[in-house]
């Protein structure tokens, strides 16, 4: 009997969780272009172009700026395993789940990890880093710029100034922020940063854009021991991407050709739009969405400075978290729940890339209102959508 294999047919969803976001059709078309060899001169030219555009989005002149062939978590790990050696001291700022993950990754390098924590939904005052470094120096300060679990923004520039004053490097996780709000690597004095392809940049998951300053590269090339990871060793990685001194490239791994096409197109879209315009669009989406939530009587969890692209909503008393998310998924809309102590207490909504626009925001508000009303929640019908539209109307 002939065996039959079904066609791949995933549902079409509106992805309004913390990532991935929906992919721009231009990026999907770029991914359908012909695959060539990963050492083909034409592809090496595409790699160089992608590096250059990535520097612009990171707002840096760092040569060592590339999309690592792995997801965002690998980019964060690459910073830790390249900058830290056994016995080094590192101070990790924790304002949520992903700060805890940075501390865990740092501990696996054999470094001595010291943590500074803030209550969930808040950021760490910069002076706390100064107090810690004055008490005892460290090689590295690491922290999350945009905490995906709580929706809080951590101020970077003053922490970087403090770190450098005490002789430390600073590394940031900007997985959620890059492409949706300013990440000014050179202006802020950041030594290393890591992000992802699938959130505000709007490409599929699979790449982690990283950047290392000349100061960070001096530390990396002067290591006493080998990097704990062969695959993430940037000394080896940049032999493939180019060290800026010669045109010859050395095989390190087979680059994901199609994903590099996707990243190139995502960066092209961002730069064509203009970074400041892109940041303003994400901020406007947040303002419209927040106005809609307020009109429904819902509140945001984040107590400190809120991220525009990641909105954490308090679940009203008596409302079933999973039931609401299941109801939205029946309408092909995805949002996410909370992590750890926030599980069952909050929803996390991403307004990223192509979804930081009026139609997705208004569609979600209308569907969320309906799902809540079906559970007996009382609110003025249509008020959320009207409030969001009013915000958008103000900007026209």
Domain spans in the chain, listed from the N-terminal domain onward: 25-272, 275-394
Q: Do domains 25-272 and 275-394 have the same CATH topology?
A: no
pLDDT at residue 58 above 70?
yes
pLDDT at residue 78 above 70?
yes
pLDDT at residue 277 above 70?
yes
Which runs of E-coded beta strand occur in the chain? 14-15, 65-68, 89-94, 112-117, 140-144, 146-147, 152-153, 169-173, 192-194, 208-212, 310-314, 333-334, 336-337, 346-350
The pTM for the full model equals: 0.96
Give the tens place of pLDDT for each residue, 364-394: 999 999 999 999 999 999 999 999 999 999 9
Q: CA-to-CA distance for 242 and 263, rounded, in angstroms? A: 18
Mean pLDDT score across all residues of the chain: 96
Band of residue 243 on the pLDDT scale cut at 50, 70, 90: confident
pLDDT at position 242 is: 83
pLDDT at position 147 is: 98
CA torsion, ordered 50, 174, 187, 157, to nearest 10 deg = -170
Q: What is the CATH number of domain 275-394?
A: 3.90.1150.10
CA 201 to chain centre: 9
Indicate the fold that domain 25-272 takes in CATH: 3.40.640
Band of residue 307 on the pLDDT scale cut at 50, 70, 90: very high
Average pLDDT over residues 47-75: 97
pLDDT at position 396 is: 57
pLDDT at position 245 is: 63
Average pLDDT over residues 328-353: 96
Question: Is 348 annotated as belonging to a binding site?
Answer: yes
pLDDT at residue 36 above 60?
yes
pLDDT at position 247 is: 63
Alpha carbon of 383 to those of 16, 244, 380, 389: distances in Å? 20, 56, 6, 10
Band of residue 395 on the pLDDT scale cut at 50, 70, 90: low
Nearest by Cα to 240 from 231, 249, 232? 249
pLDDT at position 250 is: 86
pLDDT at position 190 is: 98
pLDDT at position 246 is: 57
Q: Which residue has the tokens 């990685």?
A: 237
Band of residue 2 on the pLDDT scale cut at 50, 70, 90: confident
Band of residue 69 on the pLDDT scale cut at 50, 70, 90: very high
Average pLDDT over residues 336-364: 97
CB 184 within 8 A of CB 211: no
Region for 206 from its dihedrals, namely left if φ exceeds 0, alpha if ψ lies in -120 to 50, beta otherwise:
left
């Amino acid at each position: 009997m002939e065996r039959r294999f079904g066609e791949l047919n995933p549902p079409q969803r509106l992805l309004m969780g913390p990532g991935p976001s929906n992919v721009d059709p231009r990026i999907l078309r770029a991914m359908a272009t012909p695959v060539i060899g990963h050492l083909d001169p034409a592809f090496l030219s595409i790699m160089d172009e992608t590096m250059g555009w990535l520097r612009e989005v990171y707002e840096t002149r760092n040569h060592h700026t590339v999309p690592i062939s792995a997801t965002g978590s690998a980019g964060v790990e690459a910073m830790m395993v390249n900058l830290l050696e056994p016995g080094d001291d590192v101070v990790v700022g924790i304002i949520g789940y992903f700060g805890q993950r940075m501390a865990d990754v740092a501990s696996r390098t054999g470094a001595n990890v010291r943590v500074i924590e803030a209550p969930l939904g808040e950021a760490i005052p910069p002076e706390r880093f100064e107090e810690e470094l004055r008490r005892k120096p460290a090689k590295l300060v690491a922290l999350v710029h945009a905490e995906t679990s709580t929706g809080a923004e951590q101020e970077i520039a003053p922490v970087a100034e403090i770190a450098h004053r005490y002789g430390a490097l600073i590394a940031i996780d900007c997985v959620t922020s890059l492409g949706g709000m300013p990440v000014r690597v050179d202006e802020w004095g950041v030594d290393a940063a890591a992000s992802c392809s699938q959130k505000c940049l709007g490409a599929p998951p699979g790449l982690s854009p990283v950047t290392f300053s000349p100061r960070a590269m001096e530390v990396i090339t002067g290591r006493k021991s080998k990097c704990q990871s062969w695959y993430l060793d940037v000394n080896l990685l940049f032999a493939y991407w180019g060290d800026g001194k010669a045109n010859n490239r050395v095989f390190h791994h087979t680059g994901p050709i199609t994903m590099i096409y996707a990243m190139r197109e995502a960066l092209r879209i961002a730069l064509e739009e203009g970074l400041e315009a892109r940041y303003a669009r994400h901020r406007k989406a947040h303002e419209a969405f927040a106005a809609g939530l307020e009109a429904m009587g819902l509140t945001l969890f984040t107590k400190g400075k809120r991220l525009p692209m990641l909105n954490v909503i308090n679940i009203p008393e008596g409302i079933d978290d999973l039931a609401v998310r299941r109801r939205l998924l029946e309408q092909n809309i995805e949002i996410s729940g909370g992590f750890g102590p926030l599980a069952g207490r909050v929803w996390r909504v991403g307004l990223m890339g192509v979804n930081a626009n009026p139609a997705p925001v208004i569609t979600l508000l209308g569907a969320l209102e309906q799902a809540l009303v079906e559970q007996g929640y009382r609110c003025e019908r249509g008020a959320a959508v009207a409030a969001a539209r009013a915000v958008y109307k103000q900007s026209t």
